[in-house]
Structure 1
Amino acid sequence: MPLVIRSSRFQGFTPEGEIVLGWARRIATDLRSMRLELATASGGLAGLLRISVIPTALAVVAGLTSPFRARHPNVRFSVESANSGEILRQLQNAEIDVGVTYLDNEPIGKFRFTPLYREHYRLVTSALSAFGERDAVSWAEVAQTPLCLLTPDMQNRRIIDRLLSRSGAHLPPAVESNSIMVLLSHVRTGNWSCVLPEKLVEIFGLGPGFRSIPINDPEEAHIVGLLASDRSPMPPLAQAMFTLVMEGGLVL
């Protein structure tokens, strides 16, 4: 029974190969979970907790890892940035233990999840810009502003595009990047503005000469949450993170 499609090089898996690959991933995940559970029984939770996070939520991850480490000092962390679609794929393929992404904007499929916080949006701009002295702006006003935005493969960008389109005709972004740092570095020149989540702006800070202005009319918010594969029992590291979050009291 052929498992792979090949000519002079590997081209992919046959339907039978995909079945075998799925079982192999489940077996590897179960083996890793068994080893972690045995280690936990003898000396407390230990190992590497693999986390993938949407770029706009990276700044709040320390609010998860710090209290987790205080409770489980033998656990290490791997934190990577990924878009929402990539996070779902990584969870499905057991490449990560948990993900942090949007829960209420696009379908997430059959995963376990719990909310973390609500994402609100701010216009980040120079204090000398046309909106520099404003207490709030509308999405219609933002739509006519030269913007730096994340790339279209990011769900945050698709949310912002929808809000801008709903407000009427809008300018295409002057700068696109999958890096928050690139967006902020362009804003700091004073030539552009960008739309960022409120929590991200609070954690990074802007320095003198720049404003973070609430966007309303309408005011929009989306839920960011913690996801894991829908396995029973849940792997020990993922279960411990869910337990921590669901107990409440985290500062994110």
Structure 2
Amino acid sequence: MTIKIYFLVIISPVLVSSCGSDVTGTSSTTAEFGISFFAPLAYTYPPPDVDLVPGQSLTKDIANRVVQTDLDLAIAKGLTANQIYLYIPPTLNFTFTPPSVQIVDGEVCETDGTYIAVSGTVIYECVAGGSTSSPVSGATVTGTTNAGTTIQASTDASTIPTKDPNGEHEKFHALPRRRATSGVKAQPFVQSMTVIATASQPLYENQWKSIGRSVQQALEDKKLLFNDEISVLLL
């Protein structure tokens, strides 16, 4: 007589490992990331009958797919960096409408409704109504960290963000004073995005915050320049 023995293996989408993280306090399967930033060229697309600038997406749909891909990769890197391993990756939903922008050459605003990109990131919007004797609005550092840089509008000098060779910190170099022309001035073109991440198992608040910091670093590598630290809220 043959005796058959069957083993039932149940694989559930649970947390495999969470080494190196603070696993105390409040937990949730869902967290909201709030992002205030200057958009990479790839997150924008040109208006009709306007030439595509190298680095821009051809259409709104393509720009949306670029954003989705960057977020998926950033979350994956955030989990790995914090030694959090899930059988099923978190699902992401984001609220962001890629802007249609006409990028112009140079560093001076001359035409209302155009935009200036610096090192692959859309930094300024050109707006009518500025004084012709005023310098182009720039950016000043109010805080520099490995996780990001806060930028505020300035009217006394024109400065642009650049990364140092080792990529650890954002640095700013002053441009020569430039006078705005035709009553058009530059103002910071700050964007906002909300990302809802849902994991297969509850994660603790400090785990979500650690993921958020890693996500910020990953997105900076995609030429996304943060205007403020990423915010994390458990839902």
Bucket of the pairwise TM-score, normalised by the shorter protein = under 0.3
Structure showing the higher strand proportion among its residues: 2
| TM-score normalised by length of structure 2 | 0.27
Structure showing the higher helix proportion among its residues: 1
